[in-house]
Amino acid sequence: MKRRLCLFLLFTTLCAGYSNHAQAQFWKKWFKKEEQRKPAPKKKVPKEKPVVKEKPARRKHDIDYPASVYKERYRIDVLVPLYLNELVKNDRPVFKGKIPEKAVPGLDFYEGVKLAADTLSNFLYSIDVYVHDITDSAEAPNALIRKKVLEESDLVIGAVPSHQIATMAQFAQKHRVNFISALSPADGGVKDNPYFTLLQPSLQSHCEWIMNALFKKHKKNNPVIFYRTAPAPDANAYNYLQADEDADMKKVLCNGPLKEQQLRPLFDSNRVNVIVISILDYSYAESILLQLNKWFPAYQFEVYGMPTWKAMPSLKKPAAYPNIAVYITAPFHFDQTTPWGQAIANNYKKEAGSSKPNEMVYRGYEAMCWYAYLLTKYGTVFNDKLDDNGAAPFTRYEVKPKWDKQDNLLYLENRHIYLYRYQSSSYIVEQ
């Protein structure tokens, strides 16, 4: 508790220097409330382990989990990059204006976690939440593990970068505690670990999903694929898209400048032309879309792109390329018009003075709510109950074991993916 309150007080000092008065009041109210909050009434949960029935014969893809443990109170540790040592010096905020961009995602994710903790407290969940700033060397995953800080944890939710994933996954497997990687799509090379969950689908999963959706919709219309052999992420995306040996696609190498004469034989003005672009750099991909519109204004295109394209500026410009429909996969869709969305926005407005929480706030909120529900209902090992996703406010997660080609277990991964269709500055969510 002492560590948690120290973190809270340090955060208060940081946020007191915000130029936005409403934001400053938000943090002051937040931490004052946290310090004064009374413990939630203890929820009566059976202490005994559930009766273990005789297991059926092991099947090829069965995973043997130990019996779950039920407790009166659970502990959840949240690992998030907050950059407090850079933002606060000598108990004073270093940045009195705009917070550095690198710190914003972590702060927003933390805001979502805090709002969720308030919701869970109102519903009498008996949970203690500990937040660790992983940019502090004393709070980095290696340090937390070395000092045995996490050994009492019942669940770890980590907004950690790719290079720290393997360390946390190894800890989770050793101690049989679930580690949820909430933001990164990288798997850190983890194998044979049923306690590690990739909540954001990997690039491979996105590419496999794109190809399945594309060939269902365009069975008789072979697509053209634009690709690069470098950098490595682009090359990987291309290989994932080419993994289906039955896929018959015309190929356009984009390592150098494209030419109109090179592309014209590939397209037909009398039908919809389907293109897949395996380039993650949305600025470079955007230049290709603008060239297609410039060279072939009378042609109709459906372009399937990478999940990184959601940040592409031209998607919001109605006149950028009206003859091109752009499809982008994404693991999340947070609809503020739903009752959950309105409630979060209203609570956020009361606390922060803003009615528009961004995606990271929602992601922190949803991850905390859903996994706290699973932990409380099913105990410490809830892994075979992941189809119970109704408590997730927005996303109907499909967390399933991922296997390699030899049917060896890798880890658990969320396979739920939405398809966004952008055209003329507007979008719809098709799935």
What's 394's DSSP letter?
A: S
Both tokens assigned to 37 = 């909050």
CATH class given for the domain over 203-330+420-429: alpha beta
Compute the distance between CA of residue 335 and CA of residue 323 in angstroms, rounded to an integer. 27
pTM of the model: 0.83
Strands (E), 178-312: 178-181, 196-198, 224-227, 250-253, 272-277, 300-304
- Residue 223: closest CA among 251, 249, 254, 252: 249
Number of other residues whose CB lies within 10 A of the CB of residue 384: 12
Backbone angles phi, psi at 322, to 5 degrees: -65, -20
Compute the distance between CA of residue 231 and CA of residue 335 in angstroms, rounded to an integer. 34
Compute the distance between CA of residue 290 and CA of residue 302 in angstroms, rounded to an integer. 14
Question: For the sheet containing 74-80, what is the strand order?
Answer: 127-133, 74-80, 155-158, 178-181, 196-198, 409-414, 399-403
Collapsed DSSP state (helix, strand, coil) of residue 244: coil
* Predicted local distance difference test score (pLDDT) of residue 167: 97
Pairing of strands 426-429, 418-423: antiparallel
Both tokens assigned to 195 = 């306690």
Architecture of domain 73-201+336-397: 3-Layer(aba) Sandwich (3.40)
Both tokens assigned to 72 = 């009166």
Compute the distance between CA of residue 369 and CA of residue 379 in angstroms, rounded to an integer. 15
Compute the distance between CA of residue 248 and CA of residue 245 in angstroms, rounded to an integer. 8
Largest CA distance in the chain: 73
The CA-based angle 228-311-395, given to 5 degrees, is 105
Compute the distance between CA of residue 422 and CA of residue 429 in angstroms, rounded to an integer. 9
The separation between CA 430 and the C-alpha centre of its own chain, rounded to angstroms, equals: 19
Strands (E), 254-335: 272-277, 300-304, 324-330
* Element spanning 401, H or E: strand 399-403
CA atoms in the 13 A half-sphere facing the CB of 101:
0
Q: Match 């409330």 to its residue by tokens.
A: 33
Q: Match 């609809």 to its residue by tokens.
A: 335
Number of other residues whose CB lies within 10 A of the CB of residue 88: 20
Backbone angles phi, psi at 211, to 5 degrees: -65, -40
Backbone angles phi, psi at 251, to 5 degrees: -120, 140
Number of other residues whose CB lies within 10 A of the CB of residue 371: 24
Give buried/exposed letters for 291-316 (b at 16+ CB in 10 A, else e).
bbbeebeebebbbbbbbbbbebebbe
Is 203-330+420-429 in the same CATH topology as 73-201+336-397? yes
What are the structural domain ranges in the chain?
Answer: 73-201+336-397, 203-330+420-429
pLDDT per residue rounded down to tens, the chain (431 residues): 333 433 433 343 333 333 333 333 333 333 333 333 334 444 444 444 444 444 444 445 679 999 999 999 999 999 999 999 998 888 888 877 788 899 999 999 999 999 999 999 999 999 999 999 999 999 999 999 999 999 999 999 999 999 999 999 999 999 999 999 999 999 999 999 999 999 999 999 999 999 998 888 887 778 999 999 999 999 999 999 987 666 678 999 999 999 999 999 999 999 999 999 999 999 999 999 999 999 999 999 999 999 999 999 999 888 889 999 999 999 999 998 899 999 999 998 888 777 789 999 999 999 999 999 999 999 999 999 999 999 999 999 999 999 998 999 999 999 999 999 999 888 999 86
Number of other residues whose CB lies within 10 A of the CB of residue 152: 12
